[in-house]
């Protein structure tokens, strides 16, 4: 397994290109299951999760072609020859569950393994299943697989989600595009990625309104067709590099970054004493004074995203005063705390909250990544620390961030990937 060697203490200056959104790209690839015609996606991020999804779609019978030669533009299309999503692929990535709705809508049957992914909480799929049952699906669980049938096709209904689940909203929205009649999803997730998915589906012939609000209306159609779509920039990658500028006392221009996609993250940065501005297609983040401690609670969008919690914990570990982060989305998402404390942070966890008492500086140490976002929190700590940090298990990082060492080194970081 590869590891990173980081020598900290250098402010970052320069420009970083923000890639296509992982959390949008995966779902947009899945949308290719809804038509036999060709869906062309550009601005595709070059990350491990995209490769996993590509393998999953190919075993369903779809052809996935690299049109640009560098993985940035992919075409997806073809007939579905296999409606089973096997454990060996699905276990690598939780987003694989999203093939369930499209397979069921188009083929009227699907057999999908229960998913895997980062070990940051149980994240049950019951909302996906109950929603599909509301649309008329017959679902059973057997030997670790979801068996779903809809012999007469899916039928539009009103679905009320008990909480704003991103995955369930996406799965049900895709399935409903080919259902008979109208489907209304109440308490739908409101993330920008939801709007991106709806825009792509509409370009394919779907009739979706309300995406980005808590009520999404889908008027089912008989078939979808091919389309071209550019994946939105990754707001979590953008927020992560904004934290890199902040924790090092640097000044970064994040090309493609959009403040209006980040919302609560921008407000939190500004409360910490970080300056964030938008200039056309570029977001600038710089810090000239000391960091201030703040309190944060993770919430569904437009609240503070759980995917930025670990990065802010690293940032607040060197802020003046005390801070508190309360995690309300996933119950096991503080696994990076012991690793940050190894580097000199002062963090105590009490149930769903972490109390952070800022220290003057961190010290480099050997640390281990535990999940995707935690990986980058340790990179951030290493960039700010005195001495050398060795980060192992960076395969977690490769699932969702592209060319991390190259992007950071270009802006003055001393970071090296060592291949074991």
CA distance 284 to 359: 26
Q: Is 152 annotated to bind ligand?
A: no
DSSP alpha helix (H) spans, 358-409 = 372-384, 395-398, 404-409
Omega of the bond prior to 302 within 30 degrees of 0, cis? yes
DSSP, residue by residue, 148-167? EE-TT--B--EEE-SS--HH
Q: Is 208 annotated to bind ligand?
A: no
Both structure tokens of 96: 């694989």
Both structure tokens of 310: 């670990």
DSSP code of residue 97 = G
- Residues contacting residue 164 through CB under 8 Å, at least 6 positions apart: 187, 188, 189, 190, 214, 300, 301
To 10 degrees, what angle do helices 48-59 and 22-30 make? 10
Instruction: Tell me whether residue 243 is one of the annotated catalytic residues.
Output: no
Which residue in the block uniquely carries the two structure tokens 């980040």? 262
CA-to-CA separations, 216 to 67, 157, 158, 173, 304, in angstroms, rounded = 33, 12, 10, 8, 22
CA distance 297 to 295: 7
CA distance 366 to 72: 34
- Residues contacting residue 148 through CB under 8 Å, at least 6 positions apart: 100, 103, 104, 109, 110, 111, 112, 129, 132, 137, 138, 139
Instruction: Burial-class residue 124 by CB neighbours within 10 Å (0-12, 13-18, 19+).
Output: exposed
CA distance 27 to 197: 7
DSSP, residue by residue, 162-221? SS--HHHHHHHHHHHTTSBSEEEEET----HHHHHHHHHHHHTT--EE-BTBSEEEEE--
Q: Which of 107, 118, 238, 243 is catalytic?
A: 118
Q: Is 196 annotated to bind ligand?
A: no
Q: Is 333 annotated to bind ligand?
A: no
Q: Is 420 annotated to bind ligand?
A: no
Q: Is 7 annotated to bind ligand?
A: no
Q: Is 22 annotated to bind ligand?
A: yes
Bridge partner list, 321:
none
Q: Is 155 annotated to bind ligand?
A: no
- Annotated binding-site residues read 22-23, 94, 123-127, 307, 329
Residues classed as catalytic: 118
- Annotated binding-site residues for phosphoenolpyruvate read 22-23
- Annotated binding-site residues for UDP-N-acetyl-alpha-D-glucosamine read 94, 123-127, 307, 329
């Amino acid at each position: 397994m590869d590891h990173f060697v980081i020598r900290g203490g250098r402010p970052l200056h320069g420009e970083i290109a923000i890639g296509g959104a992982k959390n949008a790209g995966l779902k947009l690839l899945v949308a290719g299951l809804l038509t036999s015609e060709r869906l062309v996606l550009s601005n595709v991020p070059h990350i491990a999760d995209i490769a996993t999804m590509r393998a999953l779609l190919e075993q369903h019978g779809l052809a996935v072609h690299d049109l640009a030669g560098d993985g940035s533009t992919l075409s997806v299309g073809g007939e579905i020859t296999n409606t089973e999503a096997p454990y060996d692929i699905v276990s690598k990535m939780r987003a694989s569950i999203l093939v369930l709705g499209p397979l069921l809508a188009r083929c009227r049957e699907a057999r999908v393994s229960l998913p895997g992914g980062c070990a940051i909480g149980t994240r049950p799929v019951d909302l996906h299943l109950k929603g599909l049952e509301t649309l008329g699906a017959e679902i059973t669980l057997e030997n670790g697989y979801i068996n779903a049938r809809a012999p007469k096709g899916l039928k539009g209904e009103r679905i009320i989600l008990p909480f704003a689940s991103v995955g369930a909203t996406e799965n049900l929205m895709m399935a409903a595009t080919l259902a008979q009649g109208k489907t209304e999803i109440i308490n739908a997730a409101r993330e920008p990625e939801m709007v991106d998915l709806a825009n792509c589906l509409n370009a394919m012939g779907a009739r979706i309104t309300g995406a980005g609000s808590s009520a999404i209306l889908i008027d089912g159609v008989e078939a979808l067709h091919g389309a071209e779509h550019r994946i939105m920039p990754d707001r979590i990658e953008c927020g992560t590099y904004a934290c890199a500028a902040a924790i090092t006392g640097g000044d970064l221009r994040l090309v493609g970054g959009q403040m209006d996609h980040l919302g609560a993250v921008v407000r939190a940065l500004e409360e910490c004493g970080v300056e964030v501005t938008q200039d056309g297609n570029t977001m600038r983040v710089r810090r000239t004074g000391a960091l201030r401690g703040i309190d944060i609670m993770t919430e569904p969008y437009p609240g503070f995203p759980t995917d930025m919690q670990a990065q802010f914990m690293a940032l607040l570990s060197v802020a003046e005063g005390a801070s508190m982060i309360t995690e309300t989305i996933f119950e096991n998402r503080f696994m990076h705390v012991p690793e940050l404390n190894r580097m000199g942070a002062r963090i105590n966890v009490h149930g769903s909250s972490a109390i952070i008492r800022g220290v003057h500086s961190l010290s480099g140490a050997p640390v281990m990544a535990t999940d995707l976002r935690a990986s980058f929190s340790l990179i951030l700590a290493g960039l700010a620390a005195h001495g050398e940090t060795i980060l192992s298990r960076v395969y977690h990082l490769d699932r969702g961030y592209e060319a991390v060492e190259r992007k950071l080194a270009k802006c003055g970081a001393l970071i090296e990937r060592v291949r074991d």
